[in-house]
Each structure stands twice: as C-alpha cells, then as structure tokens.
Amino acid sequence: MRFCRSWGAPLCCVALKKLHWPEQGKGEKDVKGDQSQKGPLEWGRLLKGRVGLPLQGQEDELDAGQKRERSAVVRIGIGSNFWTDLYHHALTTSWPRFMGWSTIAYVVVNLAFALLYRLCDARINNAADLDLLALFFFSVQTLSTVGYGVMAPTGHMANALVSIEALLGMMVNALSTGVVFARFSRPRAQILFSQVGVISQQASPPALCIRLANSRKSAVLAMDVQLSLSQFVIGEGGYPTRIFSPLKLLQSQVPELRFIETLVHPIDSTSPLTLLSLEQLDATHAEILVTVRGTDEATGQAVLLQRSYDHARMMKGMRFVDMVIHDGQGTYRIDYRRLHDIEKEADRPV
C-alpha cells in the first residue's frame, strides 16, 4: 500500500524546505546524542499530544484507533490553574466527577460551619448540647435557605454566623445553577463519523473518502469542513516539529447536513498524500484530521467537532456500503447501522 509515486517532488521540497526525514531503515538504536537527536518515532511517542473530543453518548462506537487519547506529555513551567480556571474545569469534567466533587464540597462547607457554630458556642434552639450532627443539619438548612422553623439561632454570634452562611448560600446556589445549566445547554451536534476512511481506486484520480452522518432530526447549517494531514518531522537543529498540510476537498462547504455526507479528497498531483510512502507516513506518525464547524438548526448555536484517523485506518481499494435504501414505493430509508460498513470495490462495480 503506497500513496506516493515519487518522493522529493518540487511541491514537497518547497513545503519542507527546512525539514529532513530519517534515512530508511534507521531505527532509534542508530540515533546517538542528546534529546535533540531523537528519532521521529521516539519524538512521536513523546509529543504526539492527541486530545480527545468524543461525542457524548458515542464513546462506545469509537475504538482506540479513532479516539485521540492523551499521550504522556508533561508541561513544564505552567503552574496549576485549577482555582483560576475553575469554571472551565467544571464544564469539561465528566458528570460523575462533577457530581462527586460537588457533593464533597457541599459536605465540607456544611461541616465547616457546623464546627464554627460549635467552637463559637453559638446558641441554636432545639440543638441539644451543640450536637455536631444537629449543627450540621442546621447548616444545611441555612446554606440552602430552607428553614423548617424547628431550629433557630439566638444571640449575636449565632445570627452573625447565620448571616454569613446565608450570603454564601445564595452565591453558591446561583453559581451551581449556572454551571449545571451551562453543562446542559452546551451545543453538541450529534454527528457520527465512520470508524475508517477508504481510498477508492476506481475514481480518477484515486480519492480518500470519509463518511459522516447527522443522527438528529434537526440539520446542521452552513457546515464548513477542513481536512488536514498532521505529521511529526525533525526540523532544523534536530528538534521535532509538527506540520499540518491541508487536504483539498471536492466540497468543503455544505449548506445543510440533514442525513449523510461523504468527504472526498482527490489524491492528485497536488495532494500531499501523493508524495508520501507508507513508510514515511508511519515514521512521522501521520494523522488525518477532520474539523467540522456549523450551526445547529434547533438552537442557532455554533458547533465544533474534530476527529482523527491514523494512516493505518485508511482502507485501500474499498468503498462505503450504501446507507440509503429505496423500497420502490417512494420511501427512502437511511440505515445508520451501515455507517462504518465497507466493501471491496471489485465486489460492486461502478
């Protein structure tokens, strides 16, 4: 399986003027020196830096080859930004983790105020002998602004602490409501991507095809699609460099995605894939990146999705199985179960 007809063509020389490739057959054991002399295979494992953007509810349909896992990359010189970027962490973390940390914070805050009531000898009616558990539940009622009238503060110290906790409770309730609403209201276009791409040999020139489908009844409007080739190469000075080469699509702007769409990149003389062999794609940890932007018809909000395919998931001499079924009575059915199905081109001539 080869994408290329030649290496060292003028286009590639211009694009990679200051970059060089390792010699064929030269492994990591042949590379000597410090870290600046690492081979592309070693740098690729260290710095590939894949970031996952899975569709919510579709994680099971994506295997490890299509998900963009996080590699072991350590950032140096950047301090922890958990507290300064707490809103971002609250939006991007998973629901189980969000609910778990929210519960822990809720218990800790109420327990802290219960201890304050006890240490300050605050007088609370019907809280016998300043029982810690009774004070904890009194704090829960105060923080949530719910008061059932059974326990009530008496004295200046108790009322001062209640005033502070009530103010904190109003802010916490407002913030938590906003975060939960933001998590629910985030625009998510339910666009499904095929697990593999296919390289059609029947087309002239050969074409790389990736299929996507809209699983919602509402359409994605003004959809813009970008296809890119990502590679790690050794740049000037022996340092790894990640380069992105755009892959031209026959139709990069789709006015409306209501059902299915097939992205087609012709592998002609201007395509970066024409100039690369399978060995070079493997040595540079090449990936095909698909970026989709559009507007959700139902909410009017912008949506952004991205998927990646490594070169091993490009099936040569294959084609996608038709998803559209016509029953002969004027009704068309779309079988989403066939989204990932492929077949040999020889089995079904054009």
b/e per residue, 140-168, with b = 16+ CB within 10 A? bbbbeeeeeeebbbeeeebeebbeebeee
223 with 263, same domain: the answer is yes
Question: Is 75's pLDDT higher than 80?
Answer: no
240 and 324 within one domain: yes
Inside any domain, residue 316: yes
What's the pLDDT at 187? 76
Give 51-54's long-range contacts (Cβ < 8 A, gap of 24+). Answer: 53/305, 53/306, 53/307
Residue 339 contacts residue 211 (beta carbons within 8 Å): yes
CA distance 220 to 294: 6
Do 208 and 342 share a domain, yes or no? Answer: yes
Rounded CA separation 261/215 (Å): 12
Within a domain: 201: yes
Q: What confidence tens digit (pLDDT) does each residue in 121-178 have?
A: 888 887 767 788 889 999 999 998 887 778 888 888 889 999 999 999 999 999 999 9
Residues 307, 194: Cα–Cα separation, whole Å: 10
β-strand pairing of 314-316 with 197-200 = parallel
Residue 246 has pLDDT above 60, yes or no: yes
User: Which amino acid does the sequence have at 106?
Assistant: Y
Q: Are strands 197-200 and 191-193 parallel, antiparallel or unpaired?
A: unpaired
| Boundary (domain end) residue, out of 157, 185, 213 | 185
Q: Is residue 335 part of a domain?
A: yes
Domains contained in the chain, number: 2
- Residue with the bigger pLDDT between 318 and 32: it is 318
Look up the domain containing 238 and give its range: 10-31+189-347
For residues 222 and 116, membership in a common domain is answered with: no
Residue 314: name the closest of 339, 348, 286, 293 by CA.
286
* Sign of the C-alpha dihedral computed for residues 61, 63, 65 and 69 taken in this order: positive
The CATH number covering residue 116 comes to 1.10.287.70
Q: Are residues 334 and 221 in the same domain?
A: yes
Give CA–CA dist 290/307, Å, rounded. Answer: 5
Say if 236 falls within a structural domain.
Answer: yes
- 56 within domain boundaries: no
Nearest to 102 by CA among 179, 208, 201: 179
CB contact at 8 A, 263 and 210: yes
Check whether residue 127 and residue 218 sit in a common domain. Answer: no
Question: Is 194 found in the same domain as 167?
Answer: no
pLDDT at site 171 = 93
Tokens 């492994």: give the residue.
27
Residue 213: predicted pLDDT: 93
Same domain, yes or no: 256 and 336: yes
Question: Does 126 lie in the same domain as 219?
Answer: no
Write out the DSSP string of 92-143.
HS-HHHHHHHHHHHHHHHHHHHHHHHHHTT-EEET-GGG-HHHHHHHHHHHH
pLDDT score of 300: 85
Quickly list H helices, 245-315. Answer: 278-283
Q: Is the pLDDT of residue 77 over 70?
A: yes
Q: Identify whether 283 is part of a domain.
A: yes
The encoded tokens of residue 225 equal: 């699609």
Last residue of a domain, one of 136, 154, 185: 185
Q: Are 260 and 246 in contact (CB under 8 A)?
A: no
Is residue 65 situated within a structural domain?
no
Digit-coded pLDDT (tens) for 166-213: 999 999 999 999 999 999 888 777 899 999 999 988 878 889 999 999
Whether 195 and 181 map to the same domain: the answer is no
Q: Last residue of some domain: 164, 185, 206?
A: 185
What is the reported pTM? 0.65
Residues 157 and 115 in one domain: yes
Instruction: Give the tens place of pLDDT for each residue, 26-63.
Output: 443 443 344 444 444 443 444 333 333 333 333 344 44
CA–CA distance, 164 with 333 (Å, rounded to integer): 61
Are 208 and 227 found together in one domain?
A: yes
- Omega of the bond prior to 205 within 30 degrees of 0, cis? yes
